[in-house]
Structure 1
């Protein structure tokens, strides 16, 4: 019998990149299409293949990864290093604990909080350091990785929630529950920073405070010339997805119903970042449209 002919496979279609989303041609912050490439690093042997590109909006100066990595990208997976490395006795560990205690002391001028939620808590080292400054405060944590459960098991936080704060289930469960919400280098690593800020206002009690530490756009990789290797990371890349200018972030906080009460430059670790303390205020009532004018009644003949 003659051999059965194989079906024609058709034209070859290149497989979709499993580690990156589609490249966008507008700014994720203001929607402007006036973009410029700020940094482009050629492909090298790293966990995530492809060219690393950072674009910047010429209208609002917002810088962002373009294309953005997907949730399956290795750089967005949980850190594989043990938790002890984040609080070790080496220089990096001491600087990290110093930075955490300094951030916690930023809340000392305000009423002592009873409950505190740390967003993007990871292994819970920030609540552990903040408890030295606020010993009578109950600390909870939320993180999209299983590290938050390890933080609860280690006693660094009391309650653990796995996911993003903007997840509707988590936001509804924690509504108006906390006096302080902290985001220490969390916003720049989220896909939608605005959604996290809105969710933080929802879980804050009236008059509660939001503490934000966020990388400044001038650092950490904004000034590197194209092609320069990321310092100290031969097989890695910078992790921030967004670099938000301070004026953009302050304007967004005010539009969401926060009163910005303090801003400062963080030092010595990381090299340059902004620290913001904002108070949750009541939004002004929506304007009520005046009732329509009554139509004059015409008398019938």
Structure 2
């Protein structure tokens, strides 16, 4: 009975969530407009529709059940239009678009529609929505592209299969243990699609297909399938990149180890972390030492400049650009918190964000400080895209040192968010910041906190160690002293406020990723035997663990931060002391 009750509760909660989203889908009115209609193969439009938006993704009323559930699982239509953080999504059937944003889209590849809508929605000033179009008849739904579509919207097909198998097994278990209550669980499980769509603008044409028969068929189809056009392009890029990685994979990229602390010169050192590249899985072993005297933690031996180039390549740009964009657009509250920290001290006219990447911080900070003009500096190509999309006014691509003379005295605030830990010489970067800032200007810094106790406990699986990219981890006391030596007085600090309660969950994610089969990469050419089976088993057993780690993060992790007043990161705001 208990298992049956659990199944019923889980299904009903999911019904309420998806039904609420389906009910928020607006229905377009008929009418002519200046927009262009782009349709997928087999989609039949009858009539035309009017809209004031730059792009509207059109959802047919008869969209098949699987496609409709996947869509609702990825987007909440109620806040989608106004939410600049919501990633673009598509039912992959048809779009209405103004000529300004029109592009050619492969009508036979549903993932191309998702990528296209996402590109348009990334524009700060573009108005993008999703709506039901009466009279639009859905085309054939090709399950061969389902796995590729799930990957395109940021979901892992093997994880979906694992979760679906667990739910199916729970229903069978309920039937076996107590058939009367099991029949109740089976009835509710089977009625899930009916309960989701009844009374909403969607009326899937295959709603009559029994869920208990549809689901195993979906496992088979989702476990394989065809590659999308983008994935084929990615495979070609992987192949093109392979020779370069083959030539450089076995090189020694480490400098000789240091015998003293780069911060204070102390010679009593302690081995703190031994780690591997757990994100990209590039080869190599990396160690971080801690100075007993001052607590500074740094990579020792550190990578050469060529080594940094090897490990940074294809991470934020190139092959890894899509993944990086998804990560940085996911957690938005820190962006607001950073801007609010400055607000009581200054209303900046101009703000420079150093190490800005895709400029997600600037995008969020504009909501807190609408009168501020934000510029960004970074060495990656993403900074130029950020300017093109309207997230920043000016993009400076290169090192801070390259632009120091040009930028001197121009900004009320300079920020460095999770930047200093990446550079080879953070003290030089602080010298440049102190020189570029005008008298009375502010420097805002956010860094991982090496003093956070869970960092030592989790070892290499504590995400902020992030080897091999993180070179230096500075305790907050060291940073305050370093800034004071450069004429910058600390005016505010935030430790618990900068903490993100995700240490347990991210540690599990890294651990599972370490154990699961590896995805193809030019720096890792070997094929993993039984890749899909291993991936399925690892993530199936990992799903219950995720619930446990999320609970630990919201209880133990949050309690530790509140009790100690610290966290896994800290923020520091300093003001450049005016010259007498």
- 2:382 is the alignment partner of 1:147: yes
1:75 is aligned to 311
Rounded Cα–Cα distance in structure 1 between residues aligned with 2:377 and 2:415: 10
Deviation at residue 29 of structure 1 after TM alignment = 0.9
1:212 aligns with 2:508: no
Cα pair 1:176 1:203 within 8 Å, conserved: yes
2:425 to 192, 195, 199: 192
Whether contact under 8 Å (1:18, 1:72) holds in the other structure is no
Per-residue CA deviation, residues 125-169 of structure 1 (Å, 9 max, x unaligned), is 01111111111111111112222112111111111112221x1x3
Distance 1:141 1:43, change over 3 A: closer
Task: Name the counterpart of 1:11.
Answer: none
Q: 1:111 & 1:46 partners in 2: Cα distance?
A: 40
Query: Larger C-alpha radius of gyration, 1 or 2?
Result: 2
Is residue 230 of structure 1 aligned with residue 464 of structure 2? Answer: no
**Is the 1:216–1:244 Cα contact (8 Å) retained in structure 2?**
yes
**Which blocks of at least 5 consecutive residues in structure 2 are unaligned?**
1-248, 503-566
- Please state whether the residue corresponding to 2:262 is helix, strand or coil: coil
**Does structure 2 conserve the Cα–Cα contact (< 8 Å) formed by 1:179 and 1:209?**
yes
Higher relative contact order (CA 8 A, sep 6+): 1
Task: Give the 3-state SS of the residue equivalent to 1:178 in structure 2.
Answer: coil
User: Is the deviation greater in 181-190 or in 145-154?
Assistant: 145-154
Deviates more, 1:267-276 or 1:172-181: 267-276
**Offset at residue 18 of structure 1 (A):** 4.1
Alpha-carbon distance between aligned partners in 2 of 1:264 and 1:278, rounded to the nearest angstrom = 12
Partners of 1:23 and 1:133 lie apart in 2 by 45
Moved more, 196-205 or 261-270: 261-270
How far does residue 249 in structure 1 lie from its aligned partner after superposition? 0.6
Partners in 1 of 2:277 and 2:381 — Cα distance? 30
Deviation at 1:46, TM superposition (A): 6.2
1:40 Cα deviation (Å)?
2.0
The partner residue of 2:261 within 13, 22, 27 is 27
In the alignment, the residues of structure 2 paired with residue 144 and residue 257 of structure 1 have an alpha-carbon distance, to the nearest angstrom, of 27
Q: How much has 1:31 moved relative to structure 2? A: 1.8
Secondary structure of 1:99's match? helix
In the alignment, structure 1 residue 264 sits paired with structure 2 residue 494 = yes
Contact kept? 1:47, 1:75, Cα under 8 Å? no
Q: CA deviation at 1:33?
A: 2.0
Gaps of 5+ in 1: 1-14, 285-301
Secondary structure, aligned partner of 2:470: coil
> 2:440 is paired with a residue of what secondary structure?
strand
Determine the structure 1 residue equivalent to 2:394.
159
* Residue 273 of structure 1: aligned partner: 569
Moved more, 274-283 or 69-78: 69-78
Query: Aligned residue pairs: how many?
Result: 258
Deviation, structure 1 residue 238: 6.1
Contact kept in structure 1, 2:277 and 2:467, CA below 8 Å: no
2:485 to 246, 255, 258: 255
Instruction: Give, in whole Å, the separation in 2 of the partners of 1:131 and 1:42.
Output: 37
Given candidates 293, 304, 313, the residue that maps to 1:59 is 293
Question: Please, which of 353, 369, 372 is the counterpart of residue 134 of structure 1?
Answer: 369
Give the TM-score normalised by structure 2: 0.41
Q: Is the contact made by 1:221 and 1:238 (CA closer than 8 Å) also made in structure 2?
A: no
Paired with 1:71 and 1:147, the residues of 2 have a C-alpha distance of 21
Return the offset for 1:221.
7.2
Equivalent-residue separation in structure 1 for 2:395 and 2:278 (angstroms): 37
Q: Deviations over 1:258-301 (max 9, x none)?
A: 111001211336752111111011357xxxxxxxxxxxxxxxxx
Q: Over aligned residues, Cα RMSD in angstroms? A: 2.8
1:12 matched residue in structure 2: none
TM-score computed with the length of structure 1 as normaliser: 0.77
For 2:474, the equivalent position in structure 1 comes to 244
Q: Distance in 2 between matches of 1:59 and 1:138?
A: 42
Aligned residue number for residue 295 of structure 1: none
- The answer on 1:121 being equivalent to 2:362 is no
For residues 284 and 403 of structure 2, the distance between their equivalents in structure 1, rounded to whole angstroms, comes to 34
Structure 1 residues 44, 201: CA separation in 2 closer, same or farther (over 3 Å shift)?
closer
Counterparts in 2 of 1:38 and 1:229: CA distance versus 1, 3 Å: closer
- Deviation, 1:218, is 2.5
- Equivalents in 2 of 1:43, 1:157: separation in Å? 32
Change (3 A) 1:45 1:188: closer
Task: Give per-residue Cα distances to partners, 1:9-45, cap 9 Å, x unaligned.
Answer: xxxxxx9944322222221111222211112247999
